[in-house]
């Protein structure tokens, strides 16, 4: 397959390479490709491998096929903590520090092809499946869906002894190439080079890579820091500016939060997005944070309290507690990222082909190729000023989903050596959450929360919010709540509070802020209470659009996060 697509020679000195594999099988071709990429001088900075699978193999099957190759088996070890929860849909798995990305698309091949939003550089096509579900039949319609994922010049390596497939490929614009004499029977090569002009309508939903350069990210919370790290991994020079002296002084300064997926009876958009986001966040935690100190794959027990009290609890094995501030610091410490504090951006202006970020006195803070607004509730006022100063861009903040602030207060205290046997051994959530034991200095602390109050209302006093959190605790863990009620009454419980940015549909907003071939102003905000679930996913969505890369989720889910939900600003 590699030789049939001219690899590894073809990808040398490329910024990124995108491979589409019609059948993941038992993973052997993926690991051979990963091995070849790893051992190639002047390899592409980023390798994307998108593989279709009707049913993913077990980890035992994966490792069994690699038993005779220690190097491949070592590469496969990176999969061990992530090879779980592979339900129908897209699953993004990370290798080699995020420089090699596997997007496993579980489902019927036609449906999975139609959900792609990228142009492949190489295609591996097999008509005889090697996975547990066997082969999926190919037809003229599935070949047409495959052709929509190809650009002119995409190379195709085919392993299929089926003359009708060759005819379908020719009909859909692939040129079958002459084969060397030693080519195995049933194998051939092709190139996507249709004799007709390719319709531009097929390209409106697919972004094209832009030249890597400089970028400013406004906001140094989870949203901004995750965007900065994702872009820096791709070679961008990223300057993160924040009005605070230090990063994560807003809602992302939460002492600890839960990384846990949303669950719904109908598996709604929020549930599917949160599963994808949690998977990607746990990958970041494993690679960047200190286990047991900054995070822990603790699992979480979800109690069914609101509307479904008779249902049993749900155990989330792939859930964790995590300290957001520590993760923000690690993201901002990535090569290619610089942080500038005490830098409140008051306005933007265009200067030739770049953007200048101005302070309140009109003095420049930065001059860059692109700008990302990741400053939560501060994004809309800044956009209004940009709209007034640059009306020709056609920025219309009123067309964004309604964004508003929601205050939240967390109640917490250090363990004092009493009543510790009453605490659960793992976090509990439902209507609120209890996180039982988090390392804090030389001791450990417990946390209960959190309140939810629109910021248009008069703020409630801390004591009243503490009582609201106590009521949450009494519902989640009645015995523990009764035991801690005295500490709440004595006022020995501390408060942490801040304001979240929430959209009307409770989903983040990610995308360009005006229509253009190369929009330079983007938004990534409104993570709400789920910044730990959404921030990495949103950053990868944004970076994928800039790099013309495969999306980490299917096209339908990606559209649900667009900044302009009802429209599709044209991106090239």
Q: Which residue carries 């779980």 as its tokens?
A: 84
**pLDDT in the model for residue 198:** 83
Q: Is the pLDDT of residue 133 over 60?
A: no
Angle ∠(196,200,204) on CA atoms, nearest 5: 150
> Three-state DSSP class for 252?
helix
DSSP string, 163-206: HHHHHHHHHTTEEEPP--TTSPTTEEEEEE--SSPPPGGGGTTS
Give yes or no for residue 482 having a pLDDT over 50.
yes
Which carries the bigger pLDDT value, residue 242 or residue 61?
242
Q: Is the pLDDT of residue 352 over 70?
A: yes
In this predicted model, which residue has the larger pLDDT, 91 or 62? 91
- Token pair belonging to 352: 């030739």
pLDDT at position 398, please? 85
Sheet with 509-512, strands from edge to edge, namely 337-340, 237-241, 214-218, 370-373, 521-525, 509-512
128 — pLDDT class (breaks 50, 70, 90): low
CB 285 within 8 A of CB 411: no
Tokens of 522: 């983007």
In the chain, the percentage of residues whose pLDDT exceeds 90 is 80
Question: Residue 518: its pLDDT value, please?
Answer: 86
Mean model confidence pLDDT for the chain: 92
Residue 441 has pLDDT above 50, yes or no: yes
pLDDT at 287 exceeding the cut of 50:
yes
Domains of the chain plus CATH, in order, are 3-201 (3.40.50.150), 214-253+326-402+506-559 (3.50.50.60), 404-503 (3.30.9.10)
- Number of Cβ within 10 Å of residue 319's Cβ equals 23
Q: How big is the chain, counted in residues?
A: 572
The encoded tokens of residue 330 equal 């690690």
Q: Please give the torsion angle defined by the CA atoms of residues 438, 443, 448 and 449, in that order, rounded to the nearest 10 degrees.
A: -70
Report whether pLDDT(132) > 60: no
The Cα–Cα gap between 300 and 427 comes to 5
The DSSP code for 66 is T
Task: Tell me how far the alpha carbon of residue 395 is from its chain's centroid.
Answer: 26
Task: Give the residue among 109, 101, 149 at the shortest CA–CA distance from 129.
Answer: 109
Burial class of residue 135 (count of CB atoms within 10 Å of its CB; 0-12, 13-18, 19+): middle
pLDDT single digits (tens) 371-426 = 999 999 999 999 999 999 999 998 988 889 999 999 999 999 999 888 888 999 99
Q: Where are the alpha helices (DSSP H) in 3-137?
A: 28-38, 59-65, 70-76, 109-114
- Confirm if 285 and 298 have CB atoms less than 8 A apart: no
The share of the chain scoring above pLDDT 70, in percent, equals 94
Rounded to an integer, what distance in angstroms lies between the CA atom of residue 275 and that of residue 263? 9
572 pLDDT higher than 50 = no
Tell me, what's the pLDDT at 350?
94
Residue 135 has a pLDDT of: 57
- pLDDT surpassing 70 at residue 340: yes
Alpha-carbon gap, residue 512 to 65, rounded angstroms = 44
State residue 105's pLDDT score. Answer: 98
Rounded CA separation 267/89 (Å): 12
Strands 494-503 and 89-95: unpaired
Binned at pLDDT 50, 70 and 90, residue 44 comes out as very high
Quick one: tokens of 444? 């450990």
Give yes or no for a cis peptide into 236 (omega within 30° of 0): no
* pLDDT at residue 307, as a whole number: 66
Strands 150-159 and 494-503: unpaired
Spell out the long-range contacts of 448-453 with Cβ–Cβ below 8 A and sequence spacing 24 or more: 448/410, 448/411, 448/412, 448/472, 448/473, 449/408, 449/409, 449/410, 449/411, 450/408, 450/409, 450/410, 450/529, 451/407, 451/408, 451/409, 452/406, 452/407, 452/408, 452/529, 453/406, 453/407, 453/408
Distance CA 460, CA 59 (A): 52
Query: Positive or negative CA dihedral for 15, 20, 26, 29?
Result: negative
What are the pLDDT digits (tens) for 228-269?
A: 999 999 999 999 999 999 999 999 999 999 999 999 989 999
Per-residue exposure over 90-122, b if at least 16 CB sit within 10 Å of its own CB, e if not: bbbbbbeebbbbbbbbbbebbebbbbbbbbbbb
Residue 568's pLDDT is 46
Measured between its terminal Cα atoms, the distance across the chain in Å is 30
Q: Is 35 exposed, middle or buried (0-12, 13-18, 19+ CB in 10 A)?
A: middle
pLDDT over threshold 90, residue 187: no
- Which among 47-51, 58-62, 566-570 has the top mean pLDDT? 47-51
Tell me what the mean pLDDT of segment 485-500 comes to: 95
- How many angstroms separate the Cα of 569 from the Cα of each of 239, 395, 510, 515, 562? 26, 11, 12, 5, 9
Inform me whether the pLDDT recorded for 18 exceeds 60: yes
User: Model confidence at 134, in pLDDT bands (50, 70, 90)?
Assistant: low
Give the pLDDT score at 185.
62
Q: What is the pLDDT of residue 399?
A: 86
Q: What is the pLDDT of residue 571?
A: 38
Contact criterion met (CB below 8 Å) for 26 and 128: no
Question: Residues 315-332: what's their mean pLDDT?
Answer: 97
């Amino acid at each position: 397959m590699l030789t049939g697509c001219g690899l590894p020679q073809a990808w040398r000195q490329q910024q990124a390479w995108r491979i589409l594999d019609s059948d993941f099988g038992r993973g052997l071709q993926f690991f051979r490709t990963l091995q070849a990429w790893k051992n190639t001088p002047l390899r592409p900075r980023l390798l994307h491998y998108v593989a279709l699978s009707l049913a993913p193999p077990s980890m035992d099957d994966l490792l069994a096929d690699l038993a005779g190759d220690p190097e491949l088996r070592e590469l496969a070890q990176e999969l061990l903590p992530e090879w779980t929860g592979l339900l129908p849909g897209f699953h993004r798995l990370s290798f080699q520090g995020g420089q090699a990305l596997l997007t496993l698309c579980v489902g019927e091949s036609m449906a999975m092809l139609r959900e792609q939003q990228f142009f492949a550089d190489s295609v591996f096509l097999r008509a005889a499946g090697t996975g547990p579900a066997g082969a999926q039949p190919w037809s003229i319609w599935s070949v047409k869906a495959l052709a929509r994922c190809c650009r002119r010049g995409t190379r195709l390596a085919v392993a299929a002894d089926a003359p009708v497939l060759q005819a379908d490929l020719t009909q859909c614009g692939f040129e079958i190439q002459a084969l060397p004499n030693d080519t195995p029977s049933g194998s051939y090569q092709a190139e996507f080079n249709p004799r007709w002009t390719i319709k531009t309508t097929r390209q409106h939903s697919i972004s094209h890579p832009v030249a890597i350069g400089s970028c400013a990210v406004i906001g140094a919370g989870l949203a901004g820091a995750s965007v900065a790290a994702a872009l820096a991994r791709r070679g961008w020079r990223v300057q993160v500016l924040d009005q605070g002296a230090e990063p994560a002084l807003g809602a992302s300064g939460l002492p600890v939060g839960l990384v846990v997926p949303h669950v719904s009876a109908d598996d709604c958009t929020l549930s599917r997005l949160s599963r994808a986001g949690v998977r990607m966040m746990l990958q970041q935690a494993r690679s960047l944070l200190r286990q047991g100190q900054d995070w822990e794959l603790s699992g979480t027990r979800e109690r069914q309290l609101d509307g479904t009290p008779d249902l049993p609890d749900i155990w989330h094995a792939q859930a964790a507690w995590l300290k957001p501030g520590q993760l923000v610091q690690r993201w901002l410490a990535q090569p290619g990222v610089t942080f500038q504090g005490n830098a409140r951006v008051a306005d933007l202006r265009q200067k030739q082909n770049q953007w200048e970020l101005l302070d309140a006195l009109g003095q420049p803070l930065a001059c860059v190729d692109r700008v990302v607004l990741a400053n939560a509730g501060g994004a809309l006022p800044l956009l209004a000023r940009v709209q007034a100063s640059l009306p020709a861009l056609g920025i219309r903040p009123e067309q964004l989903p309604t964004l508003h602030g929601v205050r939240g207060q967390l109640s917490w205290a250090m363990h004092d050596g009493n009543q510790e046997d009453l605490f659960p051994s793992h976090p509990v959530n439902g209507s609120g959450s209890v996180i039982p034991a988090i390392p804090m200095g030389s001791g450990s602390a417990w946390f209960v929360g959190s309140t939810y109050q629109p910021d248009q209302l008069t703020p409630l006093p801390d004591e009243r919010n503490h009582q609201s959190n106590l009521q949450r605790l009494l519902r989640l863990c009645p015995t523990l709540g009764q035991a801690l009620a005295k500490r709440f009454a004595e006022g020995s419980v501390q408060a942490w509070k801040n304001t979240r940015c929430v959209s009307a549909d409770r989903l983040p907003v990610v995308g360009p802020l005006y229509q253009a071939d190369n929009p330079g102003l983007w938004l990534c905000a409104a993570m709400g209470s789920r910044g730990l679930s959404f921030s990495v996913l949103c950053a990868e969505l944004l970076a994928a659009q800039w790099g013309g890369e495969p999306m980490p989720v299917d096209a339908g889910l990606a559209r649900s996060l667009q900044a302009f939900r009802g429209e599709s600003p044209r991106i090239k």
